[in-house]
C-alpha cells in the first residue's frame, strides 16, 4: 500500500535527522606511484609530488613539488639532500641529461641544516624550465664537489598531470603539464575545524586502571579467542574521557619495530559493553587498532607512527582528537615506498584546524 504524503514527509524528516546525527566522513586523500615518482593530495586538494631515490642508494637527493589548490595556488619546487658530512655552506651544480642546468651552468648556493640534510629552493623561473624539460629529459644530476646524485625524472610528467587533474587545472593557464585557455580553477575546499577535548574525568587509581585492562583482555578473549596476544609489557592503560566513558588501550601484538594496540570505549567499568574506538583513514589496519600509538589525556589526542620498516622511511603517521563522542582525524601523512625519505617529507593526506 503506498504511503501518504504525510508519511513521506515524516520519513524524509527521519532520514534527515539520521544524516545530521551521523558523524561526517573525513575525506582522506590518496597517493599514487608513477614509475620513479610518487604523488598525493590531501582533503583540501593540496598536492605533493616526490622523486623516488634509487633503492640501493645510501645517500639520497630528491625533488619535492608542492602545490595548494585554488586559482592562486602557486607551485614550489625544492631539491633535498640526505647525506653525511655535508659542508656548512656549499654550491650545487645541476645538469639535465648531461647539459648544464640552469642556463650557463649557474651554481646554486646553499647551507646544510645539520651536516646531513640540506634543502635548496628552486627559483620559480628555473622550476618552470625544469618542469617543461621533464617532458623529454630523463635524469637530473646534482654534484657537490666530488659527490654526484642522480634523480630520475621518469614518471614526473604523469605525476604532475595527475595533480593538475585533482586540482581541476587541466587545460588552464596554471596547469603544470596540460595547459590551455580555460580560466576556471575550482577553489580549495575549506579546512575542517576539529574541536578536540582533553580527558575530563577524574584520573583512575593505578590498581583500578590495571583491573580494567585485565577485565578488557578477558572480554576480548571471550569475544574472539587469540585476537589479542598476552604481553608481558606494553602501552596498556585506562583513561577517563568523561565521568561515564573510559578509554582502554591494550597492546595486542609486537614486531621488531612496531607495537599494535587496540582502543576501546567502555561505559563505566562494564567491559561487556565495550565498543571499538574507530579511527578514520587507518590504512590497512583494523578500525580500532593503531601502531606505535600514545594517548595524551591533557590534549585528548592519540598520536601514532606505523613504520613500514625499522628505519622509519615509509609507513603512516598521524593524530586523532577526542571530540566528546569519538576520535576525529586531525592529521594523516604517509609514504608507500621505502626509499630513505624521512617522515618530515611524507605526503600529507589529511589536515585540519584543531580547536
How far, in Å, CA of 226 to CA of 243, rounded?
A: 32
Under 8 Å between Cβ of 353 and 192: yes
Question: What pLDDT does residue 203 have?
Answer: 87
Q: Which domain holds residue 261?
A: 193-354
Residue 102: cis peptide before it, omega within 30 degrees of 0: yes
- 347 shares a domain with 198: yes
Using DSSP, state whether 12 is helix, strand or coil: helix
Check pLDDT > 70 for residue 6: no
**Long-range contacts, 306-313 (Cβ 8 Å, 24+):** 306/258, 307/257, 307/258, 308/335, 308/338, 309/257, 309/338, 310/256, 310/257, 311/340, 312/257, 312/342, 312/343, 313/338, 313/339, 313/340, 313/341, 313/342
Closest CA to 131 of 237, 37, 220: 37
Check pLDDT > 80 for residue 289: yes
Overall average pLDDT of the 42-48 stretch: 98
Using DSSP, state whether 213 is helix, strand or coil: helix
- 231 shares a domain with 131: no
Q: How confident is the model at residue 230 (pLDDT cuts 50, 70, 90)?
A: confident
Check pLDDT > 80 for residue 219: yes
Question: What pLDDT does residue 247 have?
Answer: 97
Terminal CA-to-CA distance of the chain, rounded, Å?
Answer: 50
- pLDDT tens-place string over residues 173-183: 999 999 999 98
In a domain, 336, yes or no: yes
- pLDDT tens-place string over residues 113-142: 999 999 999 999 999 999 999 999 999 999
The CATH code of the domain that includes 65 is 2.60.40.1880
Joined together, the cell numbers standing for residue 329 give 582525524
Q: How confident is the model at residue 154 (pLDDT cuts 50, 70, 90)?
A: very high
Q: How confident is the model at residue 105 (pLDDT cuts 50, 70, 90)?
A: confident
In a domain, 223, yes or no: yes
Question: What pLDDT does residue 256 have?
Answer: 86
- 72 shares a domain with 115: yes
Under 8 Å between Cβ of 81 and 58: no
- 133 shares a domain with 203: no
Question: What pLDDT does residue 92 have?
Answer: 92
- pLDDT tens-place string over residues 186-209: 999 999 999 888 988 888 899 999
Question: What pLDDT does residue 24 have?
Answer: 66
How far, in Å, CA of 282 to CA of 316, rounded?
A: 9
In a domain, 8, yes or no: no
Under 8 Å between Cβ of 49 and 348: no
Q: State pTM to two decimals.
A: 0.89
More confident residue, 23 or 250: 250
In a domain, 18, yes or no: no
- pLDDT tens-place string over residues 333-347: 999 999 999 999 999
* Lowest pLDDT segment from 21-25, 52-56, 72-76, 308-312: 21-25
- 238 shares a domain with 134: no
CA triple 37-40-44, angle to 5 deg: 155
Question: What pLDDT does residue 234 have?
Answer: 61
In a domain, 81, yes or no: yes
- 152 shares a domain with 223: no
Check pLDDT > 50 for residue 4: no
Overall average pLDDT of the 229-254 stretch: 88
Question: Over the chain, what is the mean pLDDT?
Answer: 90
- 239 shares a domain with 161: no
* Lowest pLDDT segment from 20-24, 48-52, 164-168, 206-210: 20-24
Last residue of a domain, one of 166, 185, 218: 166
DSSP string across 98-156: TEEESGGG--EEEE-SSSSEEEEEEPHHHHHHHHHHTTT--EEEEEETTEEEEEE-TTH
Question: What pLDDT does residue 23 have?
Answer: 54
Pairing of strands 89-96, 108-111: antiparallel
- 152 shares a domain with 217: no
- pLDDT tens-place string over residues 311-328: 999 999 999 999 999 999
- 339 shares a domain with 242: yes
In a domain, 333, yes or no: yes
Answer left, alpha or beta for residue 313, where phi above 0 means left and psi between -120 and 50 means alpha. Answer: alpha
- 347 shares a domain with 202: yes
Check pLDDT > 80 for residue 279: yes
Last residue of a domain, one of 115, 150, 166: 166
- 272 shares a domain with 128: no
Q: What's the total number of domains in the chain?
A: 2
In a domain, 73, yes or no: yes
CA 223 to chain centre: 33
Question: What pLDDT does residue 354 have?
Answer: 84
- 343 shares a domain with 209: yes
Last residue of a domain, one of 166, 183, 216: 166
Amino acid at each position: 500500500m503506498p504511503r501518504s504524503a504525510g508519511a513521506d514527509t515524516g520519513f524524509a524528516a527521519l532520514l534527515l535527522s539520521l544524516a545530521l546525527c551521523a558523524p561526517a566522513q573525513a575525506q582522506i586523500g590518496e597517493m599514487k606511484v608513477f614509475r620513479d615518482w610518487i604523488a598525493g593530495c590531501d582533503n583540501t586538494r593540496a598536492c605533493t609530488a616526490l622523486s623516488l631515490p634509487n633503492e640501493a642508494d645510501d645517500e639520497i637527493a630528491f625533488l619535492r613539488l608542492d602545490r595548494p589548490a585554488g586559482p592562486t595556488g602557486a607551485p614550489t619546487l625544492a631539491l633535498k639532500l640526505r647525506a653525511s658530512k655535508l659542508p656548512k655552506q656549499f654550491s650545487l651544480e645541476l645538469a639535465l641529461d648531461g647539459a648544464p642546468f640552469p642556463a650557463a651552468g649557474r651554481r646554486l648556493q646553499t647551507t646544510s641544516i645539520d651536516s646531513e640534510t640540506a634543502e635548496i629552493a628552486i627559483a620559480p623561473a628555473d622550476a618552470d624550465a625544469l618542469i617543461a624539460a621533464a617532458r623529454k629529459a630523463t635524469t637530473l644530476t646534482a654534484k657537490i664537489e666530488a659527490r654526484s646524485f642522480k634523480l630520475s625524472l621518469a614518471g614526473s610528467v604523469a605525476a604532475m598531470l595527475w595533480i593538475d587533474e585533482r586540482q581541476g587545472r587541466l587545460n588552464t593557464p596554471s596547469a603544470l603539464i596540460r595547459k590551455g585557455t580555460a580560466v576556471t580553477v575550482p577553489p580549495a575546499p575549506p579546512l575542517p575545524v576539529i574541536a578536540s577535548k582533553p580527558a575530563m574525568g577524574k584520573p583512575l587509581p593505578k590498581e583500578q586502571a590495571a583491573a580494567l585492562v585485565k577485565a578488557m583482555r578477558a572480554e576480548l578473549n571471550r569475544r574472539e579467542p587469540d585476537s589479542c596476544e598476552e604481553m608481558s609489557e606494553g602501552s596498556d592503560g585506562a583513561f577517563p574521557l568523561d565521568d561515564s566513558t573510559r578509554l582502554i588501550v591494550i597492546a595486542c601484538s609486537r614486531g621488531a619495530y612496531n607495537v599494535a594496540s587496540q582502543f576501546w570505549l567502555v561505559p563505566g567499568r562494564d567491559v561487556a559493553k565495550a565498543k571499538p574506538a574507530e579511527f578514520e583513514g587507518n590504512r590497512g589496519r583494523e578500525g580500532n587498532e593503531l601502531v606505535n600509538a600514545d594517548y595524551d589525556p591533557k590534549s585528548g589526542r592519540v598520536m601514532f607512527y606505523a613504520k613500514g620498516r625499522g628505519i622509519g622511511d615509509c609507513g603512516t603517521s598521524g593524530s586523532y582528537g577526542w571530540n566528546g563522542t569519538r576520535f576525529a582525524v586531525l592529521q594523516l601523512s604517509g609514504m608507500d615506498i621505502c626509499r630513505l625519505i624521512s617522515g618530515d617529507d611524507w605526503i600529507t593526506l589529511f589536515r585540519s584546524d584543531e580547536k
